[in-house]
Amino acid sequence: MANDPQGDADPGRAPSESPLAPVRSDAFSASCLVCGRYDFAACYDLLRRCRHCGFVTAALFDTPNLRSLYESDYFTGREYLDYRADEPFFRKTFRRRLQALCRRRSTGRLLEIGAAYGFFGDLAARHFAYVGFEVNTEAALYSREQFGLNVYTDDFLEINPARLDGSFDVTVMWDVLEHLARPDLFLHRIGQLSHPGSLLCLTTGDIGSVLARIRGRRWRMIHPPTHLHYFDRRTLTRLLANHGFRVVEVRSEGTARSVRQVIHSIMALGLKRPDLYRRFEKHLSASWGFTLNTFDIMFVVSEKVDKADHEGPC
Ligand SMILES: [Zn+2]
């Protein structure tokens, strides 16, 4: 059963505005995170789709220890081949995202949830006063030591908000939303730390995209328990609106990747043949890479609206 920060009877509903208070993020919501109903149809063999709003989520019986999923080898073999080695490719993507958001807001305080090794933070800190959150302690330490970034390893929902020293002008979550047990609680907390006009920019997969529909169960983004939620433009827009954010831009996002990472994803993660990847690896230069837009990743910019304009959940 879900833990609702306000003790609300319906954990799937967006909590109403309230003073900042500690909340827990380690349990799933039994009801739909988007519309609050409890009426799901099976979707493939390991997902479920809300019959009312179409939101797709993982059908897990046990809550995994999410924090442990992102420690140790998450960035060095289990999900990413070698995240740090691919720094030039990540920076290329992050530079483009930063340029896109700087066209709307180029100064102030910026909050990043899921800071990884600080490659985006290092770019953003040239324009903004930067605060990051990262659950992988080694990655957080690297970003502090290498780039001097202010990165917390605390649970974002449990940290005392007074430590964050006020509201933020921009919040970014790059490929994070689908990993969270309770993205609704994160959006609620981000809303509390924003002011009217603050931006929330994020990327996540689009299960309504042509590629996702063609690939079905084999779409590369479907891999619980690290990916728990699967949005499309409609369900994401609605979830953001529940928490006071109005979508102002949605487009498909291309991503720069190393050839090594792509081959590793196909062979080691997709085909479950790490032995096959190791045979290929010596023929692949670490500097080889490309940018590809498969039109199944959404880049979303949303804006916090005035409380009076916030219609709340359905
Ligand atoms: Zn729903």
Q: What is the pLDDT of residue 190?
A: 96
Q: What is the pLDDT of residue 18?
A: 40
User: Would you identify the CATH topology of the domain 40-309?
Assistant: Rossmann fold (3.40.50)
Query: Per-domain residue ranges for the chain?
Result: 40-309
Q: What is the pLDDT of residue 86?
A: 85
Instruction: State the distance from the centre of ligand 1 to the C-alpha of 53, rounded, in angstroms.
Output: 4
Instruction: State the distance from the centre of ligand 1 to the C-alpha of 86, rounded, in angstroms.
Output: 37
Instruction: State the distance from the centre of ligand 1 to the C-alpha of 57, rounded, in angstroms.
Output: 10
Q: What is the pLDDT of residue 176?
A: 95
Instruction: State the distance from the centre of ligand 1 to the C-alpha of 130, rounded, in angstroms.
Output: 34
Tens of pLDDT along the chain (314 residues)? 333 333 333 333 333 334 344 444 456 677 899 999 999 999 988 899 999 999 999 887 666 666 677 766 767 666 666 778 889 989 999 999 999 999 999 999 999 999 999 999 999 999 999 999 999 999 999 999 999 999 999 999 999 888 898 999 999 999 999 999 899 999 999 999 999 999 999 999 999 999 999 999 989 888 888 889 999 999 999 999 999 999 999 999 888 787 777 777 777 777 778 787 778 777 777 777 778 888 899 999 999 998 756 554 43
Instruction: State the distance from the centre of ligand 1 to the C-alpha of 235, rounded, in angstroms.
Output: 8
Q: What is the pLDDT of residue 291?
A: 81
Instruction: State the distance from the centre of ligand 1 to the C-alpha of 314, rounded, in angstroms.
Output: 10
Instruction: State the distance from the centre of ligand 1 to the C-alpha of 196, rounded, in angstroms.
Output: 27
Instruction: State the distance from the centre of ligand 1 to the C-alpha of 298, rounded, in angstroms.
Output: 20
- What tokens does 237 get? 């827009």
Instruction: State the distance from the centre of ligand 1 to the C-alpha of 113, rounded, in angstroms.
Output: 25
Instruction: State the distance from the centre of ligand 1 to the C-alpha of 23, rounded, in angstroms.
Output: 22
Q: What is the pLDDT of residue 10?
A: 36
Residues at Cβ < 5 Å from ligand 1 ion: 32, 34-35, 50, 52-53, 55
The terminus-to-terminus CA distance of the chain in angstroms comes to 22
Instruction: State the distance from the centre of ligand 1 to the C-alpha of 34, rounded, in angstroms.
Output: 5
